[in-house]
Amino acid sequence: MIDLHTHSTASDGTYTPSQLVEAACRRGLLALALTDHDTVGGQQEALQRGAELGLRVIPGVELAADFEGAEVHVLGYGFDPNSPAIREILHDLSAARDCRNRQMAERITQLGCPIDYDALCIRFSGSVIGRPHFAQVMAEQGFVSDVSGAFDLYLHPGGPAYISRQLYTIPKAAAAIRRAGGLTVLAHPLQYHFDNGTLHRFLQTGRQADICGLEVYYTGYTAEQRDFLRRLAHTYGFLQTGGSDFHGSGKPGIQLGDGFVPDALLEDLDRALEQCRAQEIQKGV
């Protein structure tokens, strides 16, 4: 088994990077990519624990981007987490997130659930703070029954406490990952509930932005859906990738290694990663 899509406490997962690597070893995974939202803060710890335990850890990230007004996700793999291109985009995304979070704390307070954003930042320091953290506090205060109640009633797009944040476009997010020597993938293409025409424009936009892969394998996708996505990947010339989107208890019901990701994808990914690096080196010369 391999898993190329997971989250740690550096974003909104509940396992620390070390705990995630340890759990991956217990599950018998061959390779694990940590793809936290908008941060590379967990990479060093995950890589170190992987080296100690003999598990292959691939550096990754999951960047939010705008497509026709919807938030979509672009995965990056195998880049240098310290490269200026990555640092710049993560800094911009974090500033936009902080601005949105402050407004969201005010809005939730107005709705009757007092939230002190500075206290929230201290409590979750080291994590990229997002809607799941607000949901947790709302549940703890008894304002909603649980995290998913907070999303259903208040935090979903269009909900009374939802505030959008400024996002990069797909080409800009992809370019930052590529400049850092990484490979880019369009994440979970069926999670956006696009109609057929929009899905094709999404894939076309990805191709035009030189995105390399498509996440064909993902928790909950049926055999028919995986078939459908394999065919799309073939038509558009995308590398196939996949992962569980494990978040620990943040998304109950998902186990590390879920999604039916074939082990053979790892070789294709490695080949593609080498090509990406070679292309960047050539451009740099």
CA pair distance 177, 79, nearest whole angstrom: 7
Q: Is 41 in the site for ligand AMP (CB under 6 A)?
A: no
By CB under 5 A, tell whether 73 contacts Fe ion: yes
Euclidean distance between CA atoms 53 and 60, whole angstroms:
19
Q: What does the alpha-carbon distance between residue 2 and residue 256 come to, in Å, rounded to a whole number?
A: 9
Binding status of residue 12 toward Zn ion by CB under 5 A: yes
Q: What is the largest CA-CA distance in the chain?
A: 59
Residues 197-236 that bind ligand AMP (CB under 6 A): none
- Cβ 52 to Fe ion, closest distance in Å? 25
Query: Do the Cβ atoms of 190 and 234 come closer than 8 Å?
Result: no
Site string for ligand AMP, 11-30 (x = CB under 6 A): -x------------------
Amino acid at 119: A
From the list 131, 179, 188, 226, which residue makes contact with ligand AMP (rule: CB under 6 A)?
A: 131
Residues 196-225 that bind Fe ion (CB under 5 A): none
Residue 73 binds which of ligand AMP, Fe ion, Zn ion, none (CB < 5-8 A, kind-dependent): Fe ion
From the list 15-23, 43-51, 126-134, 229-237, the region that binds ligand AMP by CB under 6 A is: 126-134
Closer residue to ligand AMP, CB minimum distance, 104 or 261: 104
Rounded to 10°, the helix 84-110/131-140 angle is: 30
C-alpha to C-alpha distance for 64 and 66, rounded to whole angstroms: 7
* Total Cβ atoms within 10 A of residue 95: 12
Min separation Cβ 189 and ligand AMP, Å = 16
CB 65 within 8 A of CB 92: no
Binding site for ligand AMP (CB under 6 A): 12, 37, 130-132, 147-148, 151
Instruction: Name the residues that contact Fe ion, by CB under 5 A.
Output: 62, 73, 245
